[in-house]
Chains A and B, each alone.
Chain A
Amino acid sequence: MSALLSVEGLRIAYGQTPVVHGVDLDVPVGPYGVGLIGESGSGKTTIARTLVRLHRASAGSVTFDGRDVLALRGRDLARYRREVQIVFQDGDGALDPRMPVLAQVVEPLAVHRSVPRSARQERAASLLAEVGLPEEVMTHYRHQLSGGQRQRVLIARALALEPRLLILDEPTSALDVTVQDRVLALVERLREQRGLAYLLISHNLAVVDRLCETSVVLYGGVVMERGPTARVLTSPRHPYTRALRAAVPELGVQRIPLTRVSSGAPERARAASACAYVDRCPLAVARCRTEAPVLRPYDGREVACHRAEEADNLAVDGLATG
C-alpha cells in the first residue's frame, strides 16, 4: 500500500500561536478513504488548508506522489492543484455570489485548459448531472440553491479536474440528515466509479465510520489515535476517543448520565511537554504532565497515551460524575 499523500511531522501556526503540533498522516492511492476526526480547535481545518497550500506550514513535510508539496511553485503548484481538490465545509461562502453555477464548474476547466474551450460547458453540465443536480440549476446563483445543492456544486467543481485526491472538509455538517445521506452516497459512488482517494475531515464519527478505511483522531493539534476505522471507532483505546465515542448520541439508546460536564474554570497552564489531553483526561497521572506520549502500536492501531491499557477499565460511568 503506497501512500499517495504523506504528511510527516506537520506543524502549523496562526501568527505566533502553534495550532498543529507535529501530525503524521498517510492517504493511500484510491479508492480509499481516510477520516480525520476532531472537534473545533483540533486543527483539522487548518491541516486541510495547509494541504491545499492556502496556509503555510511552520515545519514538517507533505509529499504527494513523490513531490514535496510545501516547496511547490509556479507550474508545479498549478499541477498539484489540479490533482488535489478540496470541498469546503461552507458551501455558501465557497460559491461566488455573482457567478452562475455552470460558470463556476467551467472555471477549473478554463484555468487548466484541460478541456477544449468548445467542450467546457458540456463537460461542466455533465458533471452537474453526475452529482445529481437538475439541469435548471445551471443558470442559478448561489442564493437560489439549497444547502445540499451547494455542496453538490462544490463537489462537481472539485471533480472537474479529475483529481487523484479529494479533501472533504466537513462536507455535510451544515446539511439535514436526509440530505447528508444523499451526499454521502454520492461520495461512495464517486469513490467506486472514479477510484477516488479522499481525506474526509469531520467531527461526526458515524460519517467517518461509513466512508473511511482508516481513522485519525486529532485533539489540540496532536494525533491521539489512528488505525483501521473498525478498530478505532468500534473499540477506541485512547481516553479521548472513548469520550468522543460515548458522547455520540445513538438512536434509541438513552444513556444516563452521558458525560462529565467540565467546569468553565480556566485550564491550568500546561507544560509544552505535557499530553494535549491531560486537562480533560480522567486517567491523567503525573507522567502525563511532564512527558507527552508518542504514538505506539497497541491492539491493532496506534495510540498516543501512557495509560491506554488502563483505559480498558474506564467504564462509561467513569466519565459520568461532575
Chain B
Amino acid sequence: MSRPTASRPARGRLTARLHRLQRQPLLTIGLVMATIMVATGLLAPWLAPFPADAISATHPSAALLPPSSEHWFGTDGIGRDILSRVLYGSRISLAIALFVVTVAGVVGLTVGLVAGYVGGKADALLMRVTDVFLAFPALLLAVALAAVLTPSASHAAVAISVTWWPWYARLARAQAASIRTQGYADAARVIGAGWVRQLARHVLPNAATSVFVQMSLDAAGIILTAATLSYLGLGAQDPSPEWGLMVSQGQGMATTAWWVVTFPGLAILLLAAAFNFIGDGLQTVLDPKRGHR
C-alpha cells in the first residue's frame, strides 16, 4: 500500500466540486456577475471616466445631463458623472456586505453551534440573549443604532451586523441540535474527542452549509438594508457614492431625470441577484451527496 498523502483527498474534493460547478449554470452566472462587480470596484480608478466625481468634485454647470457618449449614465444634481460614482460605489456596498456577513456569521455561528450542541444551561443563556436581539425589528434596531452613532457607511455596517447575527445563531443552533443526536457525534464522543474538536471537526462542517447558503442569500438583503439606511440619512453621507444614498438623492427628480435613480438602483438589483444565484447554487454544490451520478 503506497503512502497516502494529505493533499490527495483535498485535491480530489476540489476537482469534484469544480466539476459540480459546471453543472450549475445559475451559480456560474452569479459568480461571474459578482466577480465583474468586485473587479469593477477594484479597478474603478482606471475604469471610471471621472474618478474625482466619486470623491469630492462638483460641476454644477453640468447638472442633470441625460446619458450621452460622454456621460454614459448621465450626471446628477450637482453635475457628477453617475457611471463613475456607480463604479466606485460597488466598493462600498461590497465592503458592507462582506463586513456584515463575516461579523454576523462568525458571531452567529459560534453562539448557535455552542448553544445547540452543548445544550443545557449554555443553550438557555445564549438563546435568551439571542431572543432579546430578535425581539427588536431588525431595521428599527439598525435605525436606532445608526442614529446613536454618527451617520457613516461603516457605522451602518456595524448597526446591520448587530441586527443580523441572531438569525445565523438561530439557524446554526437548529442544525447543531440535530447533529448532537447523530451517530457520528456519539462516535466522536466515544473516542474521547473534546468539545472544541467535536464542534470544529464535526458540527461546524455539517451545520455550516445552510448558514453559508443563508449568508450568500443575505448579501443582497444587507446591501438593500445599507441602502435603506443611507436613504434615511443614517448611513453613508454625501459625497459618498453609496448606491442607496444615490437612489435617495435621485428620488425627488425621478420623473424629470430618471437616470439619476435608475442606474444605482439597477446596480443594487444586479448585485442582489448575483448573490442570490450564488446562494442557491451553493446549496447544491456543498451537498456531498450530489455530483456522483
Contact = CB atoms under 8 A, between A and B. Distances in A.
B256 interface: no
Given A93-B183, A125-B4, A129-B1, A139 B12 contact: yes
Contacts of B61: none
Contacts of B292: 143-144
A99 interface: yes
B189 interface: yes
A93 B188 CA distance: 12
Interface residues of B, number: 30
B4 A122 contact: yes
A78 B193 CA distance: 8
Interface stretch (B139-147, B158-166, B200-208, B262-270): B200-208
Contact of A98 (B188, B197, B288): B288
Interface in A99-147: 99-100, 102-103, 107-108, 111-112, 121-122, 124-126, 129, 135, 138-139, 141, 143-144
Interface string A253-274: 0000000000000000000000
Consensus secondary structure, chain A interface = helix
A86 B190 contact: yes
Q: Which of B182, B188, B191 has the most CB of A within 10 A?
A: B191
A21 to B, nearest CB: 24
Given A52-B190, A85-B190, A107-B193, A93 B184 contact: yes
Contacts of B182: 93
Contacts of B3: 121-122, 125
A78 B189 CA distance: 10
Interface in B8-31: 8-9, 12-13
B135 interface: no
A54 B206 contact: no
A198 interface: no
Contacts, number: 94
Contact of B183 (A81, A82, A85, A94): A94
A121 B2 CA distance: 11
A122 B4 CA distance: 7
Contacts of B202: 96, 99
A111 B191 contact: yes
A165 interface: no
A92 B289 CA distance: 13
B9 A139 contact: yes
A99 B205 contact: yes
A98 B200 CA distance: 12
B1 A161 contact: no
B289 A143 contact: yes
Q: Which of A82, A99, A126 has the most CB of B within 10 A?
A: A99
A111 B197 contact: yes
Contacts of A103: 9
Interface of A: 49, 52-54, 77-78, 81-82, 85-86, 88, 90, 92-100, 102-103, 107-108, 111-112, 121-122, 124-126, 129, 135, 138-139, 141, 143-144, 154, 157, 161
Given A94-B187, A125-B3, 15 more contacts: A53-B190, A54-B190, A88-B186, A94-B184, A95-B183, A96-B187, A96-B202, A103-B9, A108-B191, A108-B192, A111-B191, A111-B193, A112-B191, A139-B8, A144-B292
Q: Which 9 A-B pairs have the closest CB atoms?
A: A93-B183, A81-B192, A94-B183, A108-B191, A96-B184, A98-B205, A78-B192, A139-B9, A94-B187
